Structure 1
Amino acid sequence: MTKAVGRVGPGTAGDGWIDPGAVTAIGRATEHLLDLQSPEGWWKGEQSTNITMDAQDLLLREFLGIRTEQETAESARWIRSQQLADGSWAVFDGGSGELSTTVEGYLALRLAGDGADEPHLLRAADWARRHGGLKGSRVFTRIWLAMFGLWPWHELPVLPPEIVLLPLGVPLNIYDWACWARQSIVPLSVVSHLRPVRPLPFDVDELRSPQAGPATPEPRKPRVALRLLDRALRLWNGAAVRRGGWLRRRALHRAATWILERQEADGSWGGLQPPWVYSIIALHLLGHPLDHPVIRRALDGFEGFLIREETPDGTVRRLEGCQGPVWDTALAVVALTDAGLPVDHPALASAARWLLGQELRAAGDWSVRRPRLAPGGWAFGFSNAHYPDLDDTAEVVLALERWRGSTGALPTAVGEAVDRGIAWAVGMRSKDGGWGAFDADNTRALVEKLPFCDFGRLIDPPSADVTAHVVEMLAAHGLARAATTRRAVRWLLAQQEPGGSWFGRWGVNHLYGTGAVLPALAAVGIPPTHPAVRRAVRWLAAHQNADGGWGEDPRSYVDPHWIGRGPSTPSQTAWALLALLAAGDTSAAVDRGVAWLVATQRADGGWDEPQFTGTGFPGDFYIRYHLYRDVFPLTALARHLARAQNGPTS
């Protein structure tokens, strides 16, 4: 572990003073993080989501006729445990109820045998009716209802399977959707064509309400145009269904082939629960029996995403919506090396070997827009051969760069992988100079305005957090002054919010964005005196909590009142500290933040964080990355200690 050098006693971080509590906290956190490593070399924290993952798992098993009493009972215990006092279910810890999540949770518990007259479901039904009922739920929820005869198919928006035949330049082709969305849209277009109905032995009339859900008004012209587009899609779909012509048959065949080609080695589709579920249903409806190898592998693959826990009420079963061992491992390597662990430590050596083995060397969906770009980079999960992403690639390269020796050279295998990753990342830059997560120039917003697509972010435009991570990677590789990097820096500076923060696409929210951008700007040599840096520092100081920490509620995505505000959390406090340290801030805000982390650390070296600080879809879907509470505080404390030892940057 890091050895403290310098004065111990009263003072500030900027004058060589080292808080002995911080030194102890770093040691405990280092040991705790090492204890969490797998024998294979990777780290993986659980990724908690909301109960729709578990509800849809039961609905899938009911639809396929494979739902068991044990699975049902265990999932139902988990779903019940997450219900709020008012009867609803939320999409993040501390949030208020959300209608579609509540409808799906209610339906799952009815499947589990809970009676509509039981108090917890009476409360849920009352809440759902008062907030719009079935009519106000999102399209994807009503598709589930339609599959069980609880909603008429003809009242749902349509998306014909012929979209898979549209060439790249035509609006609404499948590559207009972000990768996570297209993986769901293709199988759902098959399901909406076939319109299956497998009735349940009960109805849910108690959830029906004449009151519509909340609507977001569109400008008049787009609204009219979209109504016309929806009408045209309905006419086309109706004619295709009636005639059953060659074009529809070709589209269904192409959709099935597209789905089959993208199944991962672990049985999933992109390592994501929603496209995984919809792909199973679509293929089964197209004639793949349950014992078909593809379906069998898909169903067996869910076991690797299951968490089972013993509780006073019995075993609970819950699903991870996704897994991020590559991301977690890269973050852990950065944290441990910042804390002073030598790169030849066995834990880091095994992590490097594992990360090198996860490099992707084949073309994926990204190559549709970049056909001449050589493969490279890393993905998020264990098995995700089709979807490397810029965030993971940047973080892995930053981790692997720690193996650069005293000669300035990387070991051969590491250097070659890093070079390929950087070349791929540079080639994935969008036209405006920034980077999205998975695709280049995925910015056509028409798909988000379709009535069929009323949930989540459906395109993947450049974001400040991803772009900042790529910029930091390029700077670490000696490319701070390259034209690509300079243009990206200009893009980042232009994205700063009026208040001084940056929006966070993949983490909650402005604390995450700002915590990514300021270290990137420092890495390329932007001085602490730069006006953008000073504005950001003032914003962070203004949003520090009275207890010394920082926090931001996920509601900041939809309600500006919450921007930069919320109960202090370890990960968000660490992001604020990383930003301030990179900006050269020596104010008391840093010392207070460090003190909060030291005071809230558990005896075992970890931190508690029930809050959801990761973002899937802003405003709709959030993730609690369980390892964030361990890696980011360690990184922040270690960098604080390094600055105390070495003096502030100028």
Structure 2
Amino acid sequence: MTTASETALDDAVGESIESAQEHLRARQAPAGWWKGQLRTNVTMDAEDLLLRRFLGILRADEVEQTARWIRSQQRADGTWATFTGGPGDVSVTTEAYAALRLAGDDTDAPHMVAARRFVLAEGGLEATRVFTRIWLALFGEWSWDDLPSMAPEFVLLPKWMPLNVYDWACWARQSVVPITVVATLRPVRPLPFTLDELRTGARPKSKSGLIPAAFNLLDRAFKMYDALPVNPGREHAFRRAAEWILARQEADGGWGGIQPPWVYSILALHLLGYPLDHPAVKAAIDGLEGFLVRENTPDGPVRWLEACQSPVWDTCLAATALLDTGMRDDDPMLDKAIDWLLAEEITVHGDWSHARPGLEPGGWAFEFANDGYPDTDDTAEVVLALHRVQEDRPEVKAAVDRGIAWLVGMQSKDGGWGAFDADNTRRLVEKIPFSDFGAVIDPPSADVTAHVVEMLAQCGLAEHESTRRGVEWLLRAQEPDGSWFGRWGANYVYGVGAVLPALIAAGVPVDSAPVTRAVEWLTAHQNDDGGWGEDLRSYVDDSWRGRGESTPSQTAWALLALLAVDPFTSAVERGIAWLVDDQRADGGWDEDLYTATGFPGDFYLSYEMYRIVFPVSALGRYFAAVTGDV
């Protein structure tokens, strides 16, 4: 028997869905896509100023607006962090401090004193990551001699040899190739000030162990080679590096659609003698404009740089969310989204084909322009959406079939899926002195593997060998407490939110031990207010697993998992009520906390659309279950 409170909740959910649909309708671009803002931390903005200063193209208005933004992100303790509410980070704070010095901020100003006090307490410039010290070296604030050697000759290594270009994850290899050029040419263009006030005089810490020690010896050998009056093969390596970089430049002028390889590739080409008006360099610098966000604030205009943009990801998730609400696929909003997604299919070979040379293309990338690096996660989610509207559209079915074939071919030997490459699991590159920041390889992860498994199962391939191997991988990857690690989202809530719907879709019984343990973990971590949240510190501190302030996206992830198992529980009802109560009048949700992950433990993201698309999916699936329209 349905109670009055349950009826009231169901009515409220229906109203919430209608409001959210109209919110999405208002946010859709005329071409059919959605794209929310993608926030990271202020190193993107500091490095943008430093890049332009190094190239000699920095304008006064750019300095003023970016500095105003950086100041606005400083916390009360004088630090800058990698995510909202997180601990201060010495590298981020150092780069922000350097950018504000460039803007003319007085070192005796209270905000600069507070930042400097933190940096010195954390070990000074000497405690920063290698990437930060590379930027310091460009301006003479760090010695190139005290950085790890990064020889461009490594671009010449065959792919069967350890440490070759394709041993690195795609995001890492795209940065490492140009960095080897920059670090070998060792340019210095001094600033009109020094950062001596941030030095402690200590030696930077180095990795311990036999393998790091061996790499340190190799580093000394490379330094001796660099010091020779003649370096055989060096010019050939430079040419090959430039060719490698230019071959991967995208239509928007960038590389991989992400900031790090973009800026390092500009620096490398510039230092190799390509003038600023060379078509490739000009396109790269001009292309950065499309990643800049300009806003008016009470203190004046600000500008900040998106590290990446997510239109394909946002659009396929929005399409799925709308379909989950029961929207007809001939609604103009959905129809335009599907047409746009079809046009974004990548039909050329990219770096992924080095591991799978015989595989035909058929994937989607994350960004507007990134034909070289489609990823399995986007492709799985795009195919999930397209599959639901393919019945009367042969061109959609053909794209679905190509996407499925590509994903099956991208499965790694162990049965899981990495994001961009297959079998990118050689861990040796993690040991070299240069690798002190973020993930540098792309092994299979639970969230990506789950998305592919769910897609295959929903497309009628639950018994396919690839699906079964993927399920086995997921069952092996379950944590002892019943959760799954979330590589690309925060964190164990994201992992469970991805895996449980996949396992159920693939036919794993709802009363099986793995499913039961995961459900128990989720219900045990539901907050008193009915929502779910998980602090990003769970990546480095197990005490934060499943713990944190409730957020719309994380609450929705937990609900999507529970709804797949049993939609008629008090935990589901309380979570749905939290989403309804937390919704804004305009149909959206607020979410200040970061819930996405670039590099676990080091680099985090906030996707603006997460707070909308995932709650809409959860509400839609709940409403379908309670109304019988499944």
- TM-score surpassing 0.5? yes
User: For 1:203, which of 188, 194, 209 is the aligned residue?
Assistant: 194
Identify unmatched segments of 5+ residues in structure 1. Answer: 1-5
2:113 and 2:5 map into 1 onto residues whose CA distance is 59
User: For 1:635, which of 609, 614, 617 is the aligned residue?
Assistant: 617
User: For 2:23, which of 32, 39, 50 is the aligned residue?
Assistant: 32
Q: Deviations over 1:63-106 (max 9, x none)?
A: 00111000010000000000111111000011110000000000
The equivalent residue for 1:389 is: 375
Q: What secondary structure sits across from 2:250 in the alignment?
A: coil
The equivalent residue for 1:247 is: 233
The equivalent residue for 1:435 is: 417
User: For 1:91, which of 82, 86, 104 is the aligned residue?
Assistant: 82
Q: How does 1:449-468 map to 2 (within 5 A)?
A: 449-468=431-450
1:647 and 1:508 map into 2 onto residues whose CA distance is 31
The equivalent residue for 2:220 is: 234
Among all aligned residue pairs of Structure 1 and Structure 2, give the percentage whose two residues are the same amino acid. 61
Question: Is residue 56 of structure 1 aligned with residue 57 of structure 2?
Answer: no
Q: Deviations over 1:134-190 (max 9, x none)?
A: 000001100110110011110111121111011111111011110000000000000
Aligned AA (1:590): V
Q: What secondary structure sits across from 1:619 in the alignment?
A: coil
Q: How does 1:208-607 map to 2 (within 5 A)?
A: 208-210=199-201, 218=208, 223-405=209-391, 411-607=393-589
User: For 2:4, which of 1, 4, 9 is the aligned residue?
Assistant: 9
Q: Deviations over 1:234-280 (max 9, x none)?
A: 31343245243341111111001000001100011001001100000
1:180 and 1:615 map into 2 onto residues whose CA distance is 14
1:503 and 1:188 map into 2 onto residues whose CA distance is 31
- Report the CA distance between 1:227 and its aligned residue: 1.9
Question: Is residue 145 of structure 1 aligned with residue 136 of structure 2?
Answer: yes
Q: Say whether the 8 Å CA contact 1:240–1:248 is kept in structure 2.
A: no
2:575 and 2:425 map into 1 onto residues whose CA distance is 38
- Report the CA distance between 1:587 and its aligned residue: 2.2
- Report the CA distance between 1:404 and its aligned residue: 3.3
Q: Deviations over 1:366-410 (max 9, x none)?
A: 0011111111110000000100000000000001011133xxxx5
The equivalent residue for 1:619 is: 601
The equivalent residue for 1:3 is: none
Q: What secondary structure sits across from 2:502 in the alignment?
A: helix
Q: Deviations over 1:574-611 (max 9, x none)?
A: 00000000112532111110110011100000000001
1:163 and 1:574 map into 2 onto residues whose CA distance is 45
1:298 and 1:518 map into 2 onto residues whose CA distance is 42
Q: What secondary structure sits across from 1:19 in the alignment?
A: helix
2:496 and 2:207 map into 1 onto residues whose CA distance is 31
1:575 and 1:371 map into 2 onto residues whose CA distance is 36
2:563 and 2:206 map into 1 onto residues whose CA distance is 41
Q: What secondary structure sits across from 1:315 in the alignment?
A: strand
1:318 and 1:547 map into 2 onto residues whose CA distance is 34
Aligned AA (1:299): I
Q: Say whether the 8 Å CA contact 2:364–2:375 is kept in structure 1.
A: yes
1:188 and 1:321 map into 2 onto residues whose CA distance is 18
Distance 1:118-1:10 versus aligned 2 partners, 3 A rule: closer
Q: Which moved more, 1:155-164 or 1:429-438?
A: 155-164
1:225 and 1:304 map into 2 onto residues whose CA distance is 42
The equivalent residue for 1:101 is: 92
1:647 and 1:292 map into 2 onto residues whose CA distance is 59
Aligned AA (2:571): A
Q: Say whether the 8 Å CA contact 2:567–2:622 is kept in structure 1.
A: no
Q: Which protein, 1 or 2, shows the higher relative CO under an 8 Å CA cutoff with sep ≥ 6? A: 1
1:148 and 1:629 map into 2 onto residues whose CA distance is 40
1:644 and 1:313 map into 2 onto residues whose CA distance is 49
- Report the CA distance between 1:446 and its aligned residue: 1.0
- Which TM-score applies when normalising by structure 1? 0.95
User: For 1:179, which of 163, 167, 170 is the aligned residue?
Assistant: 170
1:195 and 1:473 map into 2 onto residues whose CA distance is 48
2:467 and 2:577 map into 1 onto residues whose CA distance is 35
Q: What secondary structure sits across from 2:363 in the alignment?
A: coil
Q: Say whether the 8 Å CA contact 1:135–1:211 is kept in structure 2.
A: yes
Q: What secondary structure sits across from 1:317 in the alignment?
A: strand
2:159 and 2:233 map into 1 onto residues whose CA distance is 18
Q: Say whether the 8 Å CA contact 2:225–2:231 is kept in structure 1.
A: no
Question: Is residue 132 of structure 1 aligned with residue 89 of structure 2?
Answer: no
The equivalent residue for 1:194 is: 185
Aligned residues: 630
CA RMSD of aligned residues (A): 1.5
- Report the CA distance between 1:212 and its aligned residue: 6.1
Aligned AA (1:186): V
Q: Deviations over 1:507-553 (max 9, x none)?
A: 00001110000010111111210111100110001100111100001
- Report the CA distance between 1:7 and its aligned residue: 5.7
The equivalent residue for 2:149 is: 158
Q: Say whether the 8 Å CA contact 1:132–1:210 is kept in structure 2.
A: no
Q: What secondary structure sits across from 1:612 in the alignment?
A: coil
2:211 and 2:542 map into 1 onto residues whose CA distance is 30
1:159 and 1:217 map into 2 onto residues whose CA distance is 17
Distance 1:647-1:415 versus aligned 2 partners, 3 A rule: closer
- Report the CA distance between 1:118 and its aligned residue: 1.2
Q: Say whether the 8 Å CA contact 1:18–1:641 is kept in structure 2.
A: no
Q: Say whether the 8 Å CA contact 2:42–2:96 is kept in structure 1.
A: yes
Question: Is residue 609 of structure 1 aligned with residue 604 of structure 2?
Answer: no
Q: What secondary structure sits across from 1:367 in the alignment?
A: helix
Q: Which moved more, 1:502-511 or 1:238-247?
A: 238-247
- Which TM-score applies when normalising by structure 2? 0.98
Q: Which moved more, 1:638-647 or 1:151-160?
A: 638-647
1:418 and 1:153 map into 2 onto residues whose CA distance is 50
